[in-house]
Amino acid sequence: PCRLFHGCNRLLTSKIISYYDSINQCKKELPEYFNFASDVLDEWSQLEKDGGRPANPAFWWVNDGGEEVKWSFEELGFLSRKAANILSEACGLQRGDRVIAVLPRVPEWWLLNVACMRTGIVFIPGTSQLTAKDILYRLQASKAKCIITNDTLAPAVESVMPDCPFLKSKLIVAKGSRDGWLNLKEL
């Protein structure tokens, strides 16, 4: 069934549904590789640019203090490509590598999630309630090459670093810098 969502017209929604229905009915070829970032996000961004879709937020985040972050599909695509470059270049990650994100649900959490989809990096989310022991277990079990966290949880990560020789890069989501960490906002 079609429904309106933030001003999205029924025609566009029905086009998307009919496209997937045609795949289910074997009328269209199922793509060999599907990438949400390029096959959906970038397509919707292009529809916005071409005027085929109203300019609605792709992402809208509000915290308890009333601070808002709104990104259009174009902005989310652009920012996720920048984040993907940081993961690939600054952190040295490749398709299939694992990254653990131990963050509260801040905008960067979703941005990094999309960046990982875009690059084929495996995104492993972790709650910000993890202890150092929990983080160590997840790092060792996953053999993640990168961890992303905030300044509150960075000390817990640092305390387990000697037991994680496969961990190659640490990315922090913070306003200030921290010794031995790459800063997402600065990069």
Lowest mean pLDDT segment, chosen from 17-26, 76-85, 177-186: 17-26
Give tens-digit pLDDT for 86-109.
Answer: 999 999 999 999 999 999 989 999
- Reported as a pLDDT band with limits 50, 70 and 90, residue 41 is confident
CA distance 143 to 92: 15
Enumerate domains of the chain plus CATH numbers: 59-183 (3.40.50.980)
Give mean pLDDT, residues 171-177. 93
Q: Using one digit for the tens of pLDDT, what is the confidence trace for 152-162?
A: 999 999 999 99
Mean pLDDT of all residues belonging to the chain? 87
- Global pTM exceeds 0.85: no
Task: State how far the Cα of 163 lies from the Cα of 167, in Å rounded to an integer.
Answer: 9
Q: What is the mean pLDDT of residues 160-168?
A: 95
Among positive and negative, which fits the CA dihedral 181, 120, 93, 145? positive
